Amino acid sequence: MTKQKQAAVPHTVRLRSSLFTKATKLAGFRSDYALAKAMGINRSTISRVVSGEIQPGPAFIAGALIAFAPMQFEDLFEVAPATTTSSSPTPETPTREAM
């Protein structure tokens, strides 16, 4: 029997922006500053992730799950095939070596 090599399919974590925005309002966060403080990250990171400029990294994901408890990962994020637009990772996206 021969083993077939399967091409690696890179995936990424994406924010469900509309649900994140709704959760922010329902949780009573009135500003990005208040949300950032609760998540333990910079408020610019929130706007960059929500706008899709960068993908959520581990600190963003963990902070969101803490700030919006008891919401679960699947409520706020989705795992989807990665689309590469540049060859360099963003600051919020860890490289495979960093994992």
Cα angle: 44, vertex 73, 40; to 5 degrees: 35
The predicted-structure confidence for 46-77, as pLDDT tens digits, reads as follows: 999 999 999 999 999 999 999 999 999 999 99
With beta carbons less than 8 A apart as the criterion, state whether 39 and 69 touch.
Answer: no
Per-residue pLDDT at 68: 97
Of 35, 92, 20, 32, nearest to 67 by C-alpha is 35
Condensed to tens digits (0 to 9), the pLDDT of residues 6-38 reads: 567 699 999 999 999 999 999 999 999 999 999
Average pLDDT over residues 74-87: 81
Helix, strand, or coil here: 37? helix
pTM for the structure as a whole: 0.73
Strand partners, 94: none
Q: What are phi and psi of 47, to 5 degrees?
A: -65, -35
Question: How long is the chain?
Answer: 99
